Structure 1
Amino acid sequence: MKNQWRVLVILVLVLLVAIFAIVNVNEVPLSLVFTTVHWPLVLVILISLIAGALITFLVSMGTSVAEKKQHRREMDTATKQIDELRADNAALKRRVNNVSVEKDSSKQKLEEL
């Protein structure tokens, strides 16, 4: 259902762009750095739209990559902390077992006496 809405929205947008293109076929002067060209208005608008979309995409990708790197660093730190805690837990379990064994051996010695 979600994809059907996307297709419908895309079709409506394509239809609007087509109508816009038909209405704006007049040529307009476009001053570039060293020259002036005469292009249809719709072409100028579409090129501007595509350039804006491309810039937006590239900026968002840069932000996304930075966020992924930060997330990866945080995951590495958390993984190291988890490993350290597991090692500490194992050491504490060994100490508890050693204390239990010592306690049992002390009880046996007391019983023998």
Structure 2
Amino acid sequence: MFVSTMLIKVLRAILTGKAVYTVQDGYFKGKNKAVRIDEITDMKWAGSSLKYLAIKTTNKKTIKLSSYNLVPEEKVNQVINDYVIPNATPEFKRNWEKRFSNKGA
């Protein structure tokens, strides 16, 4: 049952032909949700079978944006570094740097 539900979600995401995540007009967007970049305080990968980004905002909400395992984490991280971090809050910049400063070591 679980596998068929996940398969349907992944197929639906593939067949729509849209990007999994986009950065546009000051927002980081997933398929059904968008978060203002200047409201993001933290972002991390979560999930076991289907990966998603767990985004914490300045108003203490957590928003989940699924990747449907269609795009590698490294590619998404590069987009975040290139397009989100330059416009992010100082808190998010610190949290992101702490999380990924140990990856190359």
More strand by share: 2
More helix by share: 1
TM-score w.r.t. structure 1 length? 0.22
